[in-house]
Each structure stands twice: as C-alpha cells, then as structure tokens.
A and B are shown apart, each in its own frame.
Chain A
Amino acid sequence: MESNAGTLETRSNKTALEREEVAALESLQFTDEIHCLMSAPATDNASSFTALLELPAPQAVQLIHSPDSAKLIAAPAPNVEDFKGGFHFPSNGGLIERAARFSVFAGEGNNKSDSPEATSNNSSANLQKAVKSEPAETDSSQPLISDPTVENRGIKRKDREKVKGQTKKSKTTVKESSDDAEKLPYVHVRARRGQATDSHSLAERARREKINARMKLLQELVPGCNKISGTALVLDEIINHVQSLQRQVEFLSMRLAAVSPRVDFNFDSVFTAE
C-alpha cells in the first residue's frame, strides 16, 4: 500500500518535477562541459577552447563565464542559452544567487565580483542586446560605469524609463526597499513626447511601469515564461507554477510521513548533501 501511494505520488509528481530535473540535468551537462574545457591542457591543438582563443587558461575561464562569450560556446542545451540572455540583467547577487537553482548562473555570479569593469561593459552590451522597446542610448552607459555597486537590475529599470526625445515632466515615486534585497529602487518616470502630462495619467503610467517591471522579474523566476507574450498568459503560467509548487510540498510531506528513517539520522549528511 505504501508502494502504491509512492508510485502514485511519483507519477503525479513527474510532470511537475520532470521539467525541473531535466533543466537541472542540462545545467549539469553544461558545467561538465565547462570543466572539460577548463581541465584540457593548454598544449592541446586547435580542438581545445583555450587554444582557439590563444589565451592562458584562467583568462579563458573568465571569458567562459562572461556573457559575451556565450555565443562562442556551442551550448548543448538551448534552454540554458535563453536563460542566459534573460538572466544577465540582474547579473549580480540579486536574483540569481538567491532565486536560481542552476549551478551555471550561480557560478557566474561569483565571477562578477572579480571584474566590475568587465561586468559593466558586459551588462551594457546585454542591455543593448535585449532592450526591445527602447534602443540603448549613449546616456545609458554612463550610469552603469559610474555606479558599479548598484545592482544592475535597478540600473536597467532607470534606463527603461528614460526615453529618447523630449522630457517634459519628471516624477519620482517612493523608493521601495526591503531587507531581503530583492531591491526595486525608485522608478524614474518621464513623460514621453506627445503624451498627456497631467498628474493622473502620469501616476497611472508610473504604476503600469512598476507592474511591468515586476512582471519581468516574475517571468525570469518562472521557467518557460520568457517565450510567452502578454500579461494574462504570463499570469496564468505564474499561477500554475505556484499551484504546482504548493502541491509538490504536499506530496513531499506525505512522502516524508510515510517513509521512516530506520536509523537515527545525522545532520551532517543532510548539510553536506546540499
């Protein structure tokens, strides 16, 4: 009876967990490949990555972890590539270290602190790549380089709000800060050319921008949301994800209730396993 319950759980779990496991496997393959590249001696011929770049190994490793070279690496998992493009805005500690489970991104997050210059250049390059509606301006590079310590997510939001063309009014909304540092700093809104500038529409626009910014964050958190366009569908996907997570917690707690530890269980094994 216990085994039946277990198989039932795993079957219903599978659809939800399968995606995660597949993604985890893919990220693992990716890191394996990086390790292979790293461990390959520099004296190899043109087949090795470092030899191709004609660089010593550590610099090549840095390049591997930097986002620009993402194009050079033939990524086996297309999912990872998509995520890479999406993940590099909050390129630093903010979202990735805390939210992302994928080891690739966590690995990249460590390297960022070593080369702030490189990251600012890279992040500006990323912004230029991936900002769809507003083309990158010359102004955008300046705040990036001048504030390397500010989280890139905040910088991205400021740039989004700035518009080419005339600025008639500016309005700053209240700065939000939370201790947990999913920081969404103040939203600097300027009126676009030819748009109404009365306070109501400005407030509405500021609100809409905030909501859109948070939707982007959520899209990055929920796997598979990047390709969906339209807020309603994205919200549906988010709702499904939350429901599936809650169900997973229930199943897991049922599993834990059914399975009993034969021996008294030591903490060390749990902590080292994680």
Chain B
Amino acid sequence: MDSQHLNPSSLKSRFTARFLRALIKINAQKPISSSSPRDIFQRYQRIKVAADKSMAYSVRSRRTWSRATLWKLRSRSRRRLASSGRRSSIKTRTTTTTTTTTTSTNHRAAIVEKTSHEKENKEDHVGLAVQAEELRELVPGGESMDLCNLLDETAHYIKCLTTQVQVMKKIANLYSLE
C-alpha cells in the first residue's frame, strides 16, 4: 500500500508539495502563539485559497474547472489591487495573457447564456434541468457546459476533491500530533 503512493508525478504528490509550501509560507507570516480569532479567520481564508489554488495548479489548464478556479483567483487578486488604486497594471495584465481573456469572455457569455438557458430548456433530459443547474453552481466553471461535459468535469472534480481532503486530513493529523 505504501509503495504505490510514492509516485512523484501523481496528482497527489504535486498537490501535497505545493500545498505544504504555501502552508509554510502562511505560517511564517504571523506567529501563531497569541492569535486573536480574527487572525485565525484570516489565516483560515488564506489556507482555503491556498488549498484551492494548489489543487488548480496541479491540474494546470487541462480541465475547465481548474481553469475557471485559477481565473477566479486571479480576478479576485486583480480586484484587490484595483481597490488599492493600481489600475494601469490591471489593464496590461488583462491584455497580455490570452488564456485569461478567453476564459473571461467565456464567463461573460456564460452568464448571459445561463439566463436564457433557464427559459429555453433545450436539454435533452428536461427533467434533470434542476439538478444540472445545481451541479453547475457547485462545479467551478460549470456554467458554460452542456450536461455531457459537465458530468465529465464533475467526475474529475470529485476525484481531485477527494485527494485534497485526504492530504489535508493527513497534514492536520500530523499537526495535531506534534
């Protein structure tokens, strides 16, 4: 059982390495000894973002949901920079990276499409429209996909989530042991 998990290029090990690096960085930022609940909350948010980010980076751009997650994270950081007043840098960033622009146009189109989709209901399985909508909300990037691809993405997403949960559980256990 142990020998199988040491594959250095598996999703699990890639995610573990990235996540651990991010964790160490986060823990180094503020000493934990006397942290208020607010600090803990802030750290929790950072850790959550780091977990999603490292998982999305481990999958690269091979999957729609990973691309959507990365785009969301990047746009969120861009918005934060905008609020602090650095607008020029954002403009250059949006024009240079082609992948992000395509995903951004996809997203805008998807949001428009979603509202029309609810009315037209061109799906083959009309009875499953409700669940399909729910699934689209859950899976990142799921708004612009038909049911077929959505199920595909869901399968991969579930696999990655279970890996994430497994690794984080082990790390948490290790933390609590020390």
Q: Which residue of A lies closest to B33 (CB)?
A: A260
Query: Which of the candidate stretches B70-78, B90-98, B108-116, B133-141 sits at the interface with the other chain?
Result: B133-141
B82 at the interface (CB under 8 A from A): no
A161 at the interface (CB under 8 A from B): no
For A214, the chain B residues whose CB sits under 8 A away are 148, 151-152, 155
Cβ proximity bits A252-273 to B, threshold 8 Å, 1 near / 0 not: 1111111111110101011111
> Which B residues from 71 to 125 make CB contacts under 8 A with A?
124-125
A215 at the interface (CB under 8 A from B): yes
Question: Contacts A258-B40, A274-B16 known; A265 to B131 CB distance under 8 Å?
Answer: no
13 sampled A-B residue pairs with Cβ under 8 A: A98-B11, A178-B63, A211-B125, A214-B148, A221-B159, A232-B131, A239-B134, A242-B161, A249-B161, A253-B48, A256-B168, A257-B41, A259-B176
Q: A180-B156, A257-B46 are in contact. List 7 more A-B contacts (CB 8 A).
A: A236-B131, A238-B135, A243-B138, A248-B165, A265-B174, A265-B178, A271-B16
Cβ proximity bits A222-264 to B, threshold 8 Å, 1 near / 0 not: 1000000001100110110111011011101111111111110
Q: Is the CB of B147 within 8 A of A211?
A: yes
- A side interface size, CB within 8 A: 60
Interface centre among A178, A243, A245, by most chain B C-beta atoms within 10 angstroms, is A245
Q: Which residue of A lies closest to B146 (CB)?
A: A207
For B171, the chain A residues whose CB sits under 8 A away are 256, 270
> Which A residues from 1 to 54 make CB contacts under 8 A with B?
1, 31
Give B130 Cβ to nearest chain A Cβ, in Å. 8
> Which B residues from 1 to 19 make CB contacts under 8 A with A?
1-2, 4-6, 10-13, 16
Give A203 Cβ to nearest chain B Cβ, in Å. 10
Q: Is the CB of A260 within 8 A of B16?
A: no
Cβ proximity bits B148-164 to A, threshold 8 Å, 1 near / 0 not: 10011011111101101
For B40, the chain A residues whose CB sits under 8 A away are 257-258
Report how far A250 CA is from B47 CA in the complex, Å. 9
Q: Is the CB of B151 within 8 A of A211?
A: yes
Give A187 Cβ to nearest chain B Cβ, in Å. 10
A164 at the interface (CB under 8 A from B): no
Question: Contacts A248-B165, A270-B171 known; A261 to B16 CB distance under 8 Å?
Answer: no
Give B14 Cβ to nearest chain A Cβ, in Å. 12
For B24, the chain A residues whose CB sits under 8 A away are 265
Report how far A259 CA is from B16 CA in the complex, Å. 18
Report how far A257 CA is from B37 CA in the complex, Å. 10
Report how far A272 CA is from B5 CA in the complex, Å. 9
Give A8 Cβ to nearest chain B Cβ, in Å. 14
For B135, the chain A residues whose CB sits under 8 A away are 235, 238-239, 242
Report how far A207 CA is from B128 CA in the complex, Å. 15
Q: Is the CB of A274 within 8 A of B158?
A: no
Report how far A273 CA is from B162 CA in the complex, Å. 17
A145 at the interface (CB under 8 A from B): no
Q: Is the CB of A274 within 8 A of B170?
A: yes
B68 at the interface (CB under 8 A from A): no
Q: Is the CB of B124 within 8 A of A257?
A: no
A217 at the interface (CB under 8 A from B): yes
Report how far A263 CA is from B174 CA in the complex, Å. 11
Q: Is the CB of B174 within 8 A of A270?
A: yes
Report how far A226 CA is from B131 CA in the complex, Å. 18
Q: Which residue of A lies closest to B158 (CB)?
A: A221
A99 at the interface (CB under 8 A from B): yes
For A81, the chain B residues whose CB sits under 8 A away are none
Q: Is the CB of A252 within 8 A of B165?
A: yes
A179 at the interface (CB under 8 A from B): yes
